[in-house]
Copies of this chain bind each other. A is one copy, B any other.
Amino acid sequence: VAVVGDVLRATTTIVTALAAGCRAVLPCAEVEEARALARSLPGKVLLGGERGGRPLPGFDLGNSPGEYTPAVCRDATLVLTTSNGTRALLHASSAEAVLVAAFVNLRAVCEHLRGEARPVHVLCAAEAGQPALEDVLLAGALVQALDADGPTQLDDSARLALACFGMYGHDLEAALRLGGGGARLLALGYDEDIRAAAGLDRFTLVPEVRRDPLRVVTITPK
């Protein structure tokens, strides 16, 4: 079981979009691929994403969770391409099950994973191959919650994530502002996105990646 987190902002946006009524989110690695896919789909389609943090020409939406309102999202299929998060989702898609996590649905993901017998891999989206503070923090929160449920075997990465949560978990929003990704968003004026990403347990849904075609759908609540 893989759990993918890209707190700033792809997985926060995906959870928000599904909560707002999107039927499915189709992650795309490349911008042109996303444009072509959106054109090819029937029904109500939204094209969203970013490069360098900024919205893309001709796209309906950027990558700010606040844009994904019920009025915009209801019954839509969202085609999403982001710098790191959608690639992390694609990278994880060979796992038996791939869940999408953010702070906004942390408790729901933890409850879904309770009693899971298979190894759980938490995949943090990386910026230029470097771990992002906010994603390791999310991983640490997951490890702490799963570890509290019963005996677990942790690898060194999980121990590092736990240490990160121990040091930075007492103030999520401050941690999200402190990290390199948060600082870049603040410089671009996306303060609101950081507040949204720090909205712990705002939603109770668990998204999962499905294949053929590759898409993210809500599995809990059914």
Q: Which residues of A contact B (CB under 8 A)?
A: 130-133, 136, 155-157, 159-160, 162-164, 166-168, 178-181
Report the Cα distance A132→B157, complex, angstroms: 8
CB distance from A129 to the nearest CB of B (A): 10
Report the Cα distance A191→B166, complex, angstroms: 29
Chain B minimum-CB-distance residue to A182: B156
Asked whether, in the complex, the Cβ of A179 is within 8 Å of the Cβ of B166, the reply is no
Report the Cα distance A155→B183, complex, angstroms: 11
Asked whether, in the complex, the Cβ of B180 is within 8 Å of the Cβ of A160, the reply is no
Question: Which listed residue (B130, B167, B179) contacts A162, Cβ 8 A?
Answer: B167
Chain B residues near A164 (CB-CB < 8 A): 159-160, 163-164
Report the Cα distance A167→B163, complex, angstroms: 6
Report the Cα distance A180→B162, complex, angstroms: 15
Asked whether, in the complex, the Cβ of B155 is within 8 Å of the Cβ of A136, the reply is no
A-B contact pairs, 20 of them (CB 8 A): A130-B155, A131-B156, A131-B160, A132-B156, A133-B159, A133-B160, A136-B156, A136-B160, A156-B180, A156-B181, A159-B168, A159-B179, A160-B163, A162-B167, A163-B163, A163-B164, A163-B167, A164-B164, A166-B167, A167-B167
Chain B residues near A133 (CB-CB < 8 A): 156, 159-160
Supplied contacts A130-B157, A160-B164, 16 more A-B pairs, CB within 8 Å = A130-B156, A131-B160, A132-B156, A133-B156, A133-B160, A136-B160, A155-B180, A156-B179, A156-B181, A159-B164, A159-B178, A160-B163, A163-B166, A163-B167, A166-B166, A166-B167
Report the Cα distance A159→B136, complex, angstroms: 11
Chain B residues near A162 (CB-CB < 8 A): 167
CB distance from A154 to the nearest CB of B (A): 9
